[in-house]
Amino acid sequence: MRTAEIARKTAETDIKLKLNIDGKGISEINTGCGFLDHMLTLLAKHARFDLSVFCDGDTHVDYHHTVEDVGIVLGDALKTALSDMRGIKRYGSFILPMDETLILSAVDISGRSHLNYDLQIPAFRVGDFDTELCEEFFISLVRHANITLHIKQLEGKNSHHIIEGAFKSVAHTLREACMIDKDFADEIPSTKGVL
């Protein structure tokens, strides 16, 4: 099983996270930010990752540190669980429709961190969640997982739909890229021999 268990404590957040890439989409999420909980639950379900996240953060300030640090820890866990990336498909892409919204995402589990984030979210907030934190989450995830990720909004007007569509699209993209290719199960998917 490709799993990871990460604990990270700072002056701003105290996070415990468990990840099983070869899971069934079961999640137990409590970050203190309801909208982030919703997005992580969707990510786990659609990626088929088993995910447990508990965060005690300085939410009396705002959700910034919680969202950023959960992204950091999830990225660390993904990198740890994938280990040397032997046998993975490495690449994944998905176009996800959600009502009026259409989101494209593509990933390369490359060992190089790069985010191309192209979402135009019209509202500053969804509930009490600052929508700019969506980008902060993906920046942290990408940097700590060492992956290349493109997220592009092709259509969309509803802020909730745009963010939810992005998380679901990225989930399907990660699921595809993390899958073991049975024909190449013992190989590193790179001509360099390492990722």
Q: Hey, which bits of the chain come out as E strands?
A: 3-9, 13-20, 27-30, 50-57, 91-98, 101-108, 114-118, 125-126, 129-130, 148-155
Domain count, the chain: 1
Specify if 191 maps to a domain: no
Q: Is the pLDDT of residue 141 over 80?
A: yes
Cα(165)–Cα(171) distance, integer angstroms: 10
- For 84, counting Cβ atoms within 10 Å of its Cβ (0-12 exposed, 13-18 middle, 19+ buried), the class is exposed
Q: How confident is the model at residue 186 (pLDDT cuts 50, 70, 90)?
A: confident
Q: Is residue 176 part of a domain?
A: yes
For residue 170, being part of any structural domain is answered with yes
> Which residues span the domain enclosing 48?
3-184
Dihedral sign from CA coordinates of 40, 43, 44, 45? positive
CATH, residue 12: 3.30.230.40
Q: What type of residue is 101?
A: T
Residue 195 maps to a domain: no
Query: Residue 94: what pLDDT?
Result: 98
Q: Is residue 27 part of a domain?
A: yes
Per the domain annotation, does 92 fall within a domain?
A: yes
50 confidence band (pLDDT: 50, 70, 90): very high
Share of the chain above pLDDT 70, in %: 96
- Give the pLDDT of residue 122: 98
Task: Report the alpha-carbon distance of residue 11 to residue 140 in Å, rounded.
Answer: 18
- The reply to whether 189 falls in a domain is no
Mean predicted confidence (pLDDT) in 36-55? 98
In tens, the pLDDT along 143-183 reads 999 999 999 999 999 999 999 999 999 999 999 999 998 88
Pick from 17-21, 56-60, 82-86: least confident: 82-86
Task: Answer for the pair 148, 108: CB distance below 8 angstroms, yes or no.
Answer: yes
Contact of 32 with 55, CB cutoff 8 Å: yes
Q: Does 142 have pLDDT greater than 70?
A: yes
Residue 193 lies in a domain: no
The whole model's pTM is what?
A: 0.95
